[in-house]
Amino acid sequence: MVSLKDIAEVCKVSVATVSKALNNQSDISEKTKARIQQTAKEMGYYPNSAAKALKTNRTWNLGVLFADEAQSGLTHDYFANVLDSFKRTAEQKGYDITFINCCKTRENKMTYLEHAKYRGFDGVVIACIDFTDPEVVELVNSKIPVVTIDHVFNNATAVVSDNIGGMRELVKAVLEKGHKKIAYIHGSDSAVTKNRLTAFYKTTEEAGIHIPDEYVKEAAYRSVQDAYERTRELLELKDMPTCILYPDDVAGFGGIKAIKEAGYVIPQDISIVGYDGIRFGQYLAPPLTTLQQDTEKLGMEAANELIMLIENPKTTGIHRIVVEGKVTPGGTVKQLSD
């Protein structure tokens, strides 16, 4: 392994000068710095991460705590895109990322906080998990910098989708098409669900539309089977809705299956709307009307905020960043005549 001493001998400078050049310090000439850096590159020198950690008291490693209720992992389209953006942004700033082991059946199980300390994470991002879990709360309350995605704690910076605004715009788009009998299959209980459900009721109420209780049903997020069953229940109503909103695009696929099996055609007989804006939904025939979430910005903001908390703790406050989405019209909502 190439050492600083080896580079110093080749460049005929002191080890201290080599160290300054490789750390891009300003008290040596740019010409000398460039010559040393080029020599180090040609000799195949790489800084020892353990030594760097000892010197800076940082590991340049960020933890990711992520486990959705369906255990879909990185096949979860929405969060996979968010975390991909988080990863790319972190890497551009010199950080690596490591997932925190969420397996509850593992031997010699450590808590999330213990795992974070064991790995020496400089900070942790938390997404799509049971935020009421005592282990999650313990991690958030620790001294390790934490940023949450789509959940708000009083003592942690949060990057959240504008679920209230997004649902409001989605419902307004349906109302503008003339629909008054609107059903909503919402996700399982969470802050995201509560915000969307509140926005759904408020927007329809402002439009003078009453939503019957039987039009509102619950299904787990991303559960094709749950959405399929709830859709069948809606289709069996004597006064069935003209449009059904789903908790996410994947759940919408279950609704499509139920509607087709019942002999109905989308959108001629019944309209549907998804949420998230996953790419596959736009390849359906017709393309799915949905709310496109800005996963690129969500991941980028989460990474930037976490790194600021790590690198500038005294000047970085705890706050909330709200990321807006936009309606993708698609072709699954029919224009009704007055």
At 104-124, the pLDDT tens digits run 545 557 899 999 998 889 999
The per-residue pLDDT for 77 is 80
Ranges of the chain with pLDDT below 50: 105
Helix (H) or strand (E) holding 46: none
Q: What is the pTM of this model?
A: 0.80
The per-residue pLDDT for 166 is 96
For CA atoms 8, 13, 17, 23, the dihedral sign is negative
Helix spans in 131-283 (H): 134-140, 163-176, 191-206, 224-235, 249-261
Total Cβ atoms within 10 A of residue 114? 13
Determine the 3-state secondary structure of 53 from DSSP: helix
319 vs 17, 166, 195, 226, 327, CA distance in Å?
A: 42, 21, 19, 36, 27
The per-residue pLDDT for 108 is 59
User: At residue 197, what are phi and psi to the nearest 5 degrees?
Assistant: -65, -40
The per-residue pLDDT for 283 is 82
The per-residue pLDDT for 110 is 84
The per-residue pLDDT for 236 is 96
CA–CA–CA angle 69, 309, 80 (5° rounding): 30
Which pair of tokens denotes residue 117? 């300390």
The per-residue pLDDT for 335 is 95
Residue carrying structure tokens 């400078």: 13
The per-residue pLDDT for 2 is 80
The per-residue pLDDT for 248 is 94
Residue carrying structure tokens 């905020």: 305
- Closest CA relative to residue 95, chosen from 57, 148, 59: 59
User: At residue 207, what are phi and psi to the nearest 5 degrees?
Assistant: -90, 5
Total Cβ atoms within 10 A of residue 37? 16
- Domains (ranges, CATH) in the chain? 4-44 (no CATH), 61-161+296-323 (3.40.50.2300), 163-293 (3.40.50.2300)
Pairing of strands 290-292, 326-328: antiparallel
